[in-house]
Structure formats: C-alpha cells, structure tokens
Chains A and B, each alone.
Chain A
Amino acid sequence: MKKGKFFKLLIWSGSIFLVVIAVLVTHIYLVTRISKNQDERVRQLSRIDFKQNIDSQEADKIRAFVNGLSGVENSYFNLDNDILVYSYLVGKQNSFNVYNKLIAFGNYKAVRYVVNETDAKSGCPIGTDKTSLSYKLAAYISKF
C-alpha cells in the first residue's frame, strides 16, 4: 500500500472512531441524565417481605407508620403474600432507614427485599457492577 493511501485510511478510521464515541457519549448522557422537570422528582420503590402472617388490621398499622415517615409518598400491602411496597423521594428517605424504623416500631419478622444477583445481571448492563469500566464510564458521563 502506498504511504498516502495509508494515511488516508488512518484518518478515515480515526474519524469514524470519534463519531462512534460521540454517539455513545450522547446516548449515555440522554439515557441517564436527571430531568430538571419538577414533575420528575426522583422516586424509588422498595419492598419489605414479612416472614409472618399479617392481617389487614396489622397491615393498616404498618402502612400508617411507613406513610408517616418523611419522604415516603405511598404504600401498598399485599395481604396474600405479606409484602409491603412503598415509594419515597430519594435523598429524603432510604430503604435501610425505613426498614430499621419499622422493625423498631413493631419487632416484625421481615426482610428488606433486595434484587438477587442473577435478576440484576439480566437487567441494564451498566447498573450493577460498580467496578466495571462501563459502569465508571457511564457514571462519569452522566455527571454532566
């Protein structure tokens, strides 16, 4: 191959590479940015699984307690499976605190629901392994 052609090829592949990177960066930015729209405050769902039977009266007590915690917006109790789900504003409340307060309140036999590894892996590829390069890259880009 002649020298001129080689450089041309180098420039072409270099620019193509840059374009691809630019598209990737834009994509990660758009997908992960936090909206400035007031209506899209960051809300999170969490779940607590009870290992004891909870009747509707007890469930009402639990919900009233959890709803009363600051930052908690709403809750629902599935009586068939003894599962509590609640939503809260991230930053104002977190699932550890809600769980600890609830146990202190009623001494329930219950566990905080955590997504298991296999399920988590099958979801978004950049949400799970915090040591991976793609996670760090995505986290960096989404800072802007």
Chain B
Amino acid sequence: MKKRVLFHTAGLITASFMFSSCSKEETAKTVTPTPSLYERVGGTTMVNDPVNSGNMIEAGRLKLRAVVDSSIFVIAADPQMAKYFPVLFAELGMSNKSGLTALSKNFTDFMCTATGSKNSGYAYTGKSMKAAHDPAQHSRIAQKIDKADFDKFVGDIGKGLAQNGVTTANNKALVDDLVALLYTTQGDIVQK
C-alpha cells in the first residue's frame, strides 16, 4: 500500500509540473540555420542601439528587431489577422502587462537564431513553432492558422522589411531568402 501511494504521489507531482509548463520551458525547434543570412542583414558588427542609448547591439539584430517591430504594426493593422491576436489587443486590466514587448523580443530572438546568429544572448528560448501556434498549447493564439492567412502574414512581414529599406526592387535575393526561411516554418504553423 505504502509503495503504491508513494508511486502515485510521484506521478501526480510530475504531472502537475508538466501541466504548469505552458510558459517557457519548451526548447526551441529552429529552422535550418543559414549563417550568411544573419551576416547579410548586418552581422555581428557592434553598433549603437538607437532605442537604448549607451547600449551596443549587433547590426544584424538591430535590423531584424526593426523589421519585427514594423511587421507587428502591419499585422496589427491587418483586419485579416485580428482574429488570431485577441490577447495582444485586449487590455488586460489585470496587471497591465501587455505581451507586446515579449512578442517583439521572442520574435526577434527567433529571427536571429533562424538566420544564424551565434550570439547566445540572442538565442530563441520560446515555444516551438508548432506549440506557439497551437491554441491548445498557447493561450495567446486564438485559433489554428490556415494557409491563406499564413501567406498574408508573410506578406505583412514583407511590408515590414520594405519599411526598413529592404525591397524586391533593391535586394530581391535577400527578400527571397528571408521569405524562403519563413516558409520553412509553414508545416509547423499551418495547422488547419
């Protein structure tokens, strides 16, 4: 009897830890790193961070962060996307915490890691792409994503790129390669 109870307790404790792990613990499942891509958006050259004066930042990360931040605005202003992002918009009176900063950081980390950054400070530590876009595993996404919305989302990131001076007109190769990189996540993200 005693052994059985102990066994069950252990099981319950383990299970409760498993259920509580919806925030960060999952390891990143990243797309194939393409080191040259990180180099091509700016690489590891240290520059001044215009947003946090006095801090240095790698030029590659600075560029990717700017693209991510611009893209978040484009996506937020896209009526086709709104149904997925209720949490980002709803003003959580609770603790006044908006996920905007976290999303910007995580998405930037993801892009750094995916493009081949070797800086451990920029490593992506969020959910796997599959888990991040599965409403059952991530309460911040409202529903499963279909292919048409995935395409539109990538198009919105294209607009974010253009706002930061990278267009098909002036650097088609870079746009194409970044878009191709985003499409490597399609199998995990499109779940409908």
Contact = CB atoms under 8 A, between A and B. Distances in A.
Contacts of A27: 20, 22-23
A122 B135 contact: yes
Given A12-B5, A78-B77, A122-B135, A44 B91 contact: yes
B98 interface: yes
Count class of interface residues, chain A:
35 or more
Interface string A72-102: 0011111001011101001100010000000
Interface in A24-77: 24, 26-27, 30-34, 39-47, 74-77
A127 B12 contact: no
B134 to A, nearest CB: 13
A75 B163 CA distance: 13
B171 interface: no
A123 B96 CA distance: 16
B109 to A, nearest CB: 13
Given A45-B76, A125-B139, A30 B91 contact: no
B143 interface: yes
B13 A16 contact: yes
Nearest to B13: A19
A125 B90 CA distance: 12
Contact of B77 (A30, A31, A83): A83
A9 interface: yes
Count chain A CB atoms within 10 A of each CB in B83, B90, B102 and give the residue with the most.
B90
Nearest to B139: A124
Contacts of A124: 87, 92, 139-140
B77 to A, nearest CB: 4
Contacts of A122: 86, 135, 142-143
Interface of A: 5, 8-9, 12, 15-16, 19-20, 23-24, 26-27, 30-34, 39-47, 74-78, 81, 83-85, 87, 90-91, 95, 113, 115, 119-120, 122-128, 130, 135, 138-139, 142-143
